[in-house]
Chains A and B, each alone.
Chain A
Amino acid sequence: MSVIAHQQVAAGGLWSRMSLGQKQRIWAWGFLAVPLLFYVVIRFWPTFQAFYLSVTDWTITRPAAFVGLENYKRLLADALFWQVFRNTFLYLILGTPISLLISFTVAYYLDRVRFMHSFIRALYFLPFLTTAAAMAWVWRWFYQPVPIGVINDILASFGIPQQPFLRSTTQALPAVLAPAVWAGLGFQIIIFLAGLRAIPVTYYEAARIDGLSEGAILRRITIPLLKPTLVFLVVFSSIGFLRIFDQVYNINTNDPGGPLNSTKPLVLMIYQTAFSSYEMGYAAAQTVVLFVILLVISLVQLRIMRDR
């Protein structure tokens, strides 16, 4: 608008005679043509198709037939689904607070460290760059019984009895969660550090002149001013834990989600329903449930954080 008017005055000559606004519009849509085709074919169309598939009985061999809400009814009556639902939320409600607490504590103290700052930061960040499929093997090895398992070896040297870890239905889920938390910490720490640095130093100086203690500064200045960072990280990591798959699948490739489905998250159930049982319609209904959960969680969290 004003840009174009300004241009017409400034440019004169060739451009002004060719109706610059029109020319710009043609360029813009020309630039967007291929990307829009991509978004329509690879994003929007499949989204609608996923909803449609969820009300069909499509399997690989049989063409899809409309079955109404049959898949959803079946899901609600499926004991495995409720087990998986519980597991998925366990990943979320254990993983998000634990990882945020650790990463905030590290970032809070690391922010004040000058000596070898970037080296220490690098130590915490490196696990973020790893491949879950590769790291699952490392952790799986750590969790083995003696003599091979590193953790059990350490426990044994302190005289603590052997732990079954991945073989136990109660210990397996935390054991699978640990590598996921471990790998995500570096990212959260970097984001927290960025947030901490964005707080103007004058606030701290003023608070110190007023004689506030370190604890009071943390509670009254640092944390409130860090709220946007916190909202972002809570939503980001919650979504990550709700969608956990790579770590779970790879740490137990013989029986993914085992033992006895005690570590199986929703995405793994989707994968197995679709590509082991080939019940695509039923799997599609599960993906719609995942979508709804993710949507609700992000909306609720944004609301809570905004109100506070």
Chain B
Amino acid sequence: MTSVASSRGSLPMSRIRPGRIVSWTLLFIGGIIMVTPLLFMLSTSLKDASQVYDLRVIPAAPTLDNYIEILGDGRFTRWLINSTIVAVIVTLSNVFFDSLVGYTLAKFRFRGRYIVFIAILSTLMIPTEMLVLPWYLMASRFGWLDSYWGIMFPGMMTAFGTFLMKQFFESVPDDFLEAARIDGLNEFTIWWKIAMPLVTPALSALAIFTFLGNWTAFFWPLIVTTSAELYTLPVGLSSFAVEQSIQWEKIMTGASIATLPTLVIFLFLQRYIVRGVMLAGLKG
């Protein structure tokens, strides 16, 4: 129990053995293989059409022409904007409502609380695919097809997020909330100003997951959008080469543009994202 490693709960390893070097090397090679598709995608996006068949990872004459052309063609920029709008709004909605409901179920005592919790949790058993047809019917009846609201409405709240937030709010001490009550704050302010700051790790995990999930979402946006102006990036990408013969360097540029935002976010928030995945995996 004296070693530092005990705080991490992992194996204390003091000696460097040959086996260790071999396993490190294999892990490293495996990691490089994992990112190979990403490297090829990025490198091809920096090549012009004549270099595509040259499979070197470092382009002989790197060029940003593909990016200029793709982003200059208004459609792609539009898809980028659509994806951003949808992912941001849905994320804000989830952070607000999931934590509000999670907080209410964790911290209020009232009759029906358990039933509400079970009812919300039970929706986790229903696969999205089953709801898609009724949603489509609903959207067409209310004129939501081919609109931002149509893309967003099914995901505005999730049972997963609610469950995650409830778990975390349960660990917030009641004394804090009572103290605020004594100070005369109303319940909404107590939640927003006192309880929410205490669960920021969970909030960031929820935000990251929701954003990533909506940024990469394909099935529902594919169904609900029909005009190219409302496509999200993934839907736009899948329609990309149907109309033109496959130009790999252009496609790889489009794929890069769809992928880079999440990779850049990861580089800045790596610690939070990894911790968030762990939190969600263990609690959720």
Q: Which residues from chain A sit less than 8 Å from chain B, CB to CB?
A: 1, 3-4, 6-7, 10-11, 14-15, 21, 24-25, 27-29, 31-32, 34-36, 38-39, 42-47, 49-50, 53, 106, 109-116, 118, 120-127, 129-139, 141-142, 147-148, 150, 153, 179, 182, 185-187, 190-191, 193-202, 204-205, 229, 232, 243, 245-246, 249-250, 253-254, 267, 270-271, 274-275, 280, 283-284, 287-288, 290-291, 294-295, 298
Contact = CB atoms under 8 A, between A and B. Distances in A.
A130 B238 contact: no
A259 to B, nearest CB: 17
A50 B130 contact: yes
> Could you tell me the dominant secondary structure of chain A's interface residues?
helix
Given A1-B109, A35-B157, A274 B133 contact: yes
Contact of B178 (A6, A138, A190): A6
Nearest to B136: A274
Contact of B120 (A4, A6, A39, A53): A39
A10 B40 CA distance: 65
A172 to B, nearest CB: 18
A204 B5 CA distance: 12
Contacts of B256: 134
Contacts, number: 301
Contacts of A295: 125
A207 B183 CA distance: 54
A24 B53 contact: no
B34 A182 contact: yes
Interface in B181-213: 181-182, 184, 187-188, 191, 212
B116 interface: yes
Interface in B1-42: 1, 3, 5-6, 8-13, 20, 23-24, 26-28, 30-32, 34-35, 37-38, 40-41
B174 to A, nearest CB: 6
Contact of B223 (A38, A275, A290): A275
Given A47-B126, A129-B263, A132-B216, A124 B41 contact: no
Contact of A124 (B30, B136, B251, B263): B30
B281 A127 contact: no
Interface residues on B, range: 35 or more
Interface of B: 1, 3, 5-6, 8-13, 20, 23-24, 26-28, 30-32, 34-35, 37-38, 40-41, 44, 52-53, 55, 97, 100-101, 103-104, 108-111, 113, 116, 119-120, 123, 125-127, 129-138, 153-154, 156-157, 159, 162, 174, 178, 181-182, 184, 187-188, 191, 212, 215-216, 218-219, 222-223, 233-235, 237-242, 248, 251-252, 254-256, 258-259, 262-263, 265-266, 270, 274, 277-278, 281-282
Contacts of A275: 223
Nearest to B44: A141
Contact of B20 (A38, A112, A134, A137): A112
14 contacts: A1-B109, A42-B154, A46-B138, A50-B134, A112-B13, A127-B38, A133-B233, A138-B37, A141-B40, A201-B9, A202-B1, A245-B219, A274-B136, A287-B127
